[in-house]
Amino acid sequence: MGMSVTISEAAEADAEQILKLQYLCYQSEAQLYGDYSIEPLTQTLDSIKAELTTGTVLVARLGDEVVASVRGTVDADGTARIGKLIVHPRMRRHGLGGRLLDAVERRLGANGTTKCFQLFSGHRSEQNLQLYRKHGYAPVHTQRVSERLTLVTLAKEAATVSYVASA
């Protein structure tokens, strides 16, 4: 490829690229569950810009192109909630999702008050579930959303994360 992928904090200027990438990445999820009205496909640009100011948003870049992203926040009770981990289809299966997951965990856990990490995925999204299990997450809750979709919430203790490495 010639260029390496770098991970950094997203800027407001990245919002449009994140939105377009999110739309592209969630097409397969929508198809898998037969529901094209899922929130990642209906989210607005203004909503993403707001997330940039209220939470942690990381992006992976290949040159100037945003090829992956992840978002997270830490609740008052110390639960870090990670969401919308997306990787461009042409960049999948190269470890980028795992690198982003590690980076957001380090960033969210660096404050010293994070007790655990939580994320969720649809029950049929086996590649996502495999990635999360590989990174130490275990199912803690399921919620049937519709006839076609059950959300699986996974979690792991913050004590299992190393905060030494950099993104």
Burial category of 105 from C-beta neighbours within 10 Å (exposed 0-12, middle 13-18, buried 19 and up): buried
Per-state percent for the chain, helix, strand, coil, to nearest 5: 40, 30, 30
Sequence-ordered list of residues with C-beta below 8 angstroms from that of 82, at least 6 positions apart, any chain:
70, 71, 72, 101, 104, 105, 108, 117, 118, 119
| Structural domain includes residue 88 | yes
**Pseudo-torsion of CA 89, 73, 13, 131, nearest 10°?**
-10
| Structural domain includes residue 90 | yes
Q: Cα–Cα distances in Å, from 121 out to 13, 66, 86, 165?
A: 28, 22, 12, 26
pLDDT in tens, 90-111: 999 899 999 999 999 999 998 8
- Residue 45, pLDDT score: 96
| Structural domain includes residue 166 | no
CATH number of the domain within which 20 lies = 3.40.630.30
Which range of residues forms the domain containing residue 75?
5-160
| Structural domain includes residue 25 | yes
Instruction: Answer yes or no: is pLDDT of 167 > 70.
Output: no
| Structural domain includes residue 97 | yes
- The model's pTM: 0.91
Helix or strand holding residue 54 (H, E): helix 45-54
- Determine the residue type at 62: L
- Determine the residue type at 117: F
| Structural domain includes residue 143 | yes
- Residue 2, pLDDT score: 53
Helix or strand holding residue 52 (H, E): helix 45-54
Task: Give the chain's domain count.
Answer: 1
Q: Which of 35-39, 56-60, 148-152 has the highest mean pLDDT?
A: 56-60
| Structural domain includes residue 165 | no
Is residue 118 within 8 Å of residue 103, measured between CB atoms?
no
| Structural domain includes residue 167 | no
